[in-house]
Chain A
Amino acid sequence: MNASPFREFLRSCYKNLNFIVGFIMLLSVILTAAFAPKIAPYYFEGGNPNAKFTSPCPEYILGTDNMGRDLFSRIVYGTRITLKVALIGGTIQLFLGVVVGLFCGFYGGVVDRFMLFFADLTWCVPGMVMALAVVTVIGSNLTNAIIAIALVNWASMARTVRAKTMSLKNMAFIETGVAFGESNLALMFRYILPNIVPALIVMVSMSLPGTIMSTTTLSFLGVGSQPPSPDWGLMVSDGIKYITKAPWLAIYPGLALVYTVLSFTILGEGLRDLLDPRMKSLG
């Protein structure tokens, strides 16, 4: 019996340590988010006013904050926010990157020049500065912070899609498609797109850590999530105010963030080895 390609893929997954470790770490994050109300002993709002700044103890595993809220419960609920950032931010970047990259690579010409010039423009101002400017205009909240970061980051994905499209569009199978009378849209989305899916998966998983970190940084700076949201960036920035009195407030939310980002990073490395071994690490 011949091993199916899917089985073979699973077998190589099994051999890839990065993939397994990253997958298990990410799974634990997703499960925490899904069962947050079951795991967290308290709700993330409305603390006990008699238990402000309790240091970690059996009742409050990671201690409480300035309003007597249980830090552990807030971190558990914060998982949902971080995954939401990854999901929405990743989707917007992927959508813009694929559509713009495909059109520019396929048609070339004026559209392509304009896009390249626009991409050069975004290179001219550091991403964080640009994102801050965007948030200023559209207002400070989590959704807008996600949009701002996606608007800054999509260009690099579009560039890669464009380059791949340009190298694919002259290949024989596209000529076959043309001979069959396929429309340009069909050529782009049914002929070229499936061929760049592995590269896309790798690109998205490699860009997610950056997306999560930048969005959390915006929250940290006070232009993303607003209180009383249990956003990890916001929690660390509140924690700094009480750093001498209650250091746990700034430590543990950051630790949770590092764990989540690391799970995406390791999974991304594993996926890259599996799907696109020639692609170089982005550093």
Chain B
Amino acid sequence: MQLTEDNIYRSSSQFRNWSFTPAKLAAQRQTTNIQASERVKAAFARQRAQRARQPDTASASESERGNGSGIDTGSNTPIPVTNPADVNCLTVAEEMKLVDSFCERTLELGKFLKFPIEVTATAIQFLRRFYLVNSPMTYEPQTISRSTMYLSTKVECHHRPAADYAAMLTKTTPESVIAPEYLIVQGLRFTFDVKHPFRGLKGGHLELMEMARGNAAPTPHNTQTPAELQKAMQALPKKAGEPPSHLSAADLEKRITHAYTLASDTLKSVALLTDAYFLYTPSQIWLAAHLLADEPLTAFYLSTKIPTSSPMYPKLLSRLNACAELLSSHRKFASQGTSEEEKKAREERDKKEVSALMKKLKQCRDPDKLDLVKLNQAQKRDALNADGQLEESKAKRRKMDRDALKKEEGDFWGPELPSRNGEKA
């Protein structure tokens, strides 16, 4: 009864629940988008019908709507209730764009809060997973992203009390951080484990360094001696297609470390912002990042693991190349080709697009889900009313119970035990 590394990965929830083929991923997003649009349209239709019935109170409910969520505070102009057929819902691509931009913001938030990269990375993946089954039209990405960050501090053992966490952010209360938490957890299907490629990259780096020093550990497929491997490694070309080089041992180590640094940067930024986690396994992701950093070295390393003659090798290499392409296609990927101005212009364009989308989102938010805090309060057993007080009848009953208990405490045998059917015997 023996397990391989692949078996272990197959048992993870990331593989079981959160791995998709590209077609399946697109279908899932489509489904979510359609459901959310239907819901928004239905909500608008309901609101319209309600307003048609009582035209006097229309303005009041509108101002209430404006106060509902943090995002609407800036523009308090009453939104005219449009015909439900005219509601301009976000498309799938627009939703994706929004979620991507909020993933970037989360990355920056993590940097700003000085959280470890694992926390930020987990938060981003939670956000991406959550918006696979929910739409930004239903739940506002700003609050959700803050809440996922809080959730991932707990998941990644970097605990922060909600009050402390909220104090670090502007326009955030502990309640607003906690309110969507259960919602997010439901969206995540209660799977908290996110397998990151960071540690895998470290493991690969360890092996490469040992290999460069001439004491590679033997693998079943490899017949070369450690010394031969070291020699072959030193003779690797600097780039694919170039003539072989002859590096000294120290230079080789430098090269490996450089590749590690580059790959690590890729993993910590671009890999998080793409769909790589849904489409590839962590070990494929880190090897793809390494491939981007140093292609000949990675190809050589892979060939020591899997013989180039086996059918597995070209198959795996094609996946790695596809993954590398996905990573390098991202706007943030720092490739040498683009100039500073072009990058800046790209950022500028992106910013404009996102702000336009945010405006559009404001028009098509689901009116039922504007105030998550209030909804969450209503869910709770002892819902507090507007003044932060319990309901009057409940408070009265509590007080009576408490008084009765206090009176009976003086008895020799203590207070009466509560009988099964709730009334006193």
Q: Do A and B truly interact?
A: no
